[in-house]
């Protein structure tokens, strides 16, 4: 029963966090729109039936049953058509979509509010209104990653020995347990013990685990002086790293992979010790780089989304495992949060840090995804405003008549196609997260 309650608590935390993130996203649109004089008739969190609403001034604020999105309604989103009116009932389905969008935009403008239509705003103001939503998600992500990195801290390798291998096996070996006849690991043979803090290696003071690793890898078959601190005493040891096949690591201590994603291996010195982890609070200067890395990661997933979706489909309908770094639906994220909440071995502080990290990553995803330059996403409106600015700029430069606002209503057929594609991808991800969820443990 306790595990069920813990699972539900993890899911509820993510749902509430997502709803708050969506609400702040819409506030990012609402505030500049009102400041610029646009009439906003609705501010809603969620989709489906309205479960609560209240009107304040000219705007209705409310909550809907499905907290997986949100919107604000601004009058006059699309400009009226130029020239002769085109009727939806005589020009086919797609032109009907275009005309319906224009008619809906026109009908939203009440008498006396004609000057408050969204499409009448200068280009730069429209960009601010549409970028305000994603910007709020980016700002929230910065705050959450600040709490995660500066408050909770990051688990990283210390200079203390966490474990000592009894034998030496190549990194690429399929067998990772010692058997009779395996060569003894140099660290164990030299007397290094778990809990020893490495003070220096080969006469070089050690400030990080990567420093000791680099020296060891560069000294195969050569005696190396180790100075460790054990129970308050300084002990000198002599260790001879053996030449062994090890994975290639970069300056951050991460395994280097080839183009296919397989880890690269090389012959290097090996002692057979691993670091104990410690949680270290990061400086404020670490926050923005971390956010930037997450933005780049999400952008990479989106740029490769077709292949990623194919991989998800292959996993959902075949024997393949899900990629833990691949796309995931809200259902998958909630399930993952619930599973983390049920693991007794994870301390409460670590669980809280994980929830903060998940919400930070969700806001990064909302920021990047909404900037895709396709309607109905914010990026589509921003792209339309930028194109209008370019057209009007060239017209002014060459002293031509003002071409007027860009008619984004003409893109309604494309918008419909985008909605259908995104809907299909969402359905696939939800199905995959139910039948073949991502396994992190």
Contacts of 92 (CB under 8 A, 6+ apart): none
- Please work out, in degrees rounded to the nearest 5, the angle formed at the alpha carbon of residue 55 by the alpha carbons of 54 and 58: 160
Which of 26, 193, 229, 238 is catalytic? The answer is 26
CA distance 111 to 184: 87
Angle, CA 73 vertex, CA 67 and CA 75 arms, to 5°:
175
Helix, strand, coil proportions of the chain in percent (round to 5)? 50, 20, 30
Q: Are 191 and 173 in contact (CB under 8 A)?
A: no
Do 405 and 119 touch, CB atoms closer than 8 A?
yes
26 is catalytic: yes
> How far is C-alpha 184 from the chain's CA centre?
43
The DSSP bridge partners found for residue 99 are none
Phi, psi of 76 (to 5 degrees): 65, 50
**Helix, strand or coil, per DSSP, at residue 270:** strand
Backbone angles phi, psi at 185, to 5 degrees: -70, 140
Question: In 311-328, which positions are buried (b, 16+ CB within 10 angstroms) versus exposed (e)?
Answer: bbbebbeeeeebeeebbb
Measured CA angle at 309 (ends 307, 311), to 5 deg: 70
Distance CA 423, CA 410 (A): 21
120-156 burial, b at 16+ Cβ within 10 Å, e below that, comes to bbebebbbbbbbbbbbbbbebbbebbbbbbeebebee
Helices (H) and strands (E) in the chain, counts: 11, 10
Distances (CA, A) of 214 to 220, 237, 269, 382: 11, 18, 9, 48
Q: Which residues make Cβ contacts (< 8 Å) with residue 189, sequence separation at least 6?
A: none
What residues act catalytically? 26
């Amino acid at each position: 029963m306790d595990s069920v309650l813990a699972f539900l608590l993890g899911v509820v935390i993510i749902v509430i966090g997502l709803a708050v993130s969506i609400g702040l996203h819409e506030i990012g649109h609402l505030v500049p729109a009102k400041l610029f004089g646009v009439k906003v008739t609705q501010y809603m969190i969620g989709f489906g039936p309205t479960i609560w609403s209240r009107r304040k001034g000219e705007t209705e604020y409310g909550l809907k049953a499905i907290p997986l999105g949100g919107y604000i309604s601004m009058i006059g989103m699309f400009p009226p058509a130029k020239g002769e009116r085109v009727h939806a009932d005589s020009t086919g389905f797609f032109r009907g979509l275009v005309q319906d969008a224009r008619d809906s935009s026109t009908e939203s403008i009440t008498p006396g509010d004609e000057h408050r239509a969204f499409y009448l705003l200068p280009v730069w103001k429209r960009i601010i209104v549409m970028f305000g939503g994603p910007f709020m998600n980016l700002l929230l992500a910065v705050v959450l990653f600040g709490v995660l990195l500066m408050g909770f801290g990051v688990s990283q390798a210390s200079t203390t020995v966490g474990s000592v291998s009894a034998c030496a096996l190549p990194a690429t070996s399929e067998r990772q347990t010692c058997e009779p006849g395996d060569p003894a690991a140099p660290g164990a043979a030299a007397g290094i013990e778990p809990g020893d803090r490495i003070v220096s290696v080969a006469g070089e003071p050690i400030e990080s685990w990567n420093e000791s690793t680099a020296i060891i890898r560069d000294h195969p078959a050569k005696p190396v002086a180790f100075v460790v601190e054990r129970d308050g005493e300084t002990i000198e040891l002599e260790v001879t790293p053996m030449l062994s096949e090890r994975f290639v690591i970069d300056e951050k201590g991460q395994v280097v992979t080839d183009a296919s994603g397989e880890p690269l291996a090389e012959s290097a010195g090996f002692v057979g010790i691993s670091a104990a982890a410690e949680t270290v609070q990061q400086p404020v200067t670490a926050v923005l780089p971390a956010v930037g890395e997450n933005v780049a990661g999400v952008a990479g997933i989106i740029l490769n989304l077709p292949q990623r979706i194919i991989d998800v489909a292959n996993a959902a309908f075949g024997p393949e495992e899900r990629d833990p770094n691949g796309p995931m639906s809200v259902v998958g994220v909630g399930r993952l949060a619930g599973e983390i909440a049920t693991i007794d071995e994870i301390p409460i502080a670590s669980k809280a840090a994980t929830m903060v990290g998940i919400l930070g990553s969700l806001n990064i995803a909302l920021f990047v995804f909404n900037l895709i330059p396709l309607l109905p996403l914010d990026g589509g409106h921003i792209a339309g405003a930028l194109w209008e600015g370019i057209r009007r700029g060239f017209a002014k430069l060459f002293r031509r008549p003002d071409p007027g606002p860009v008619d984004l209503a003409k893109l309604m057929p494309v918008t419909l196609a985008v909605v259908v594609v995104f809907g299909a991808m969402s359905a696939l991800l939800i199905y995959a997260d139910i039948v073949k969820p991502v396994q992190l443990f």
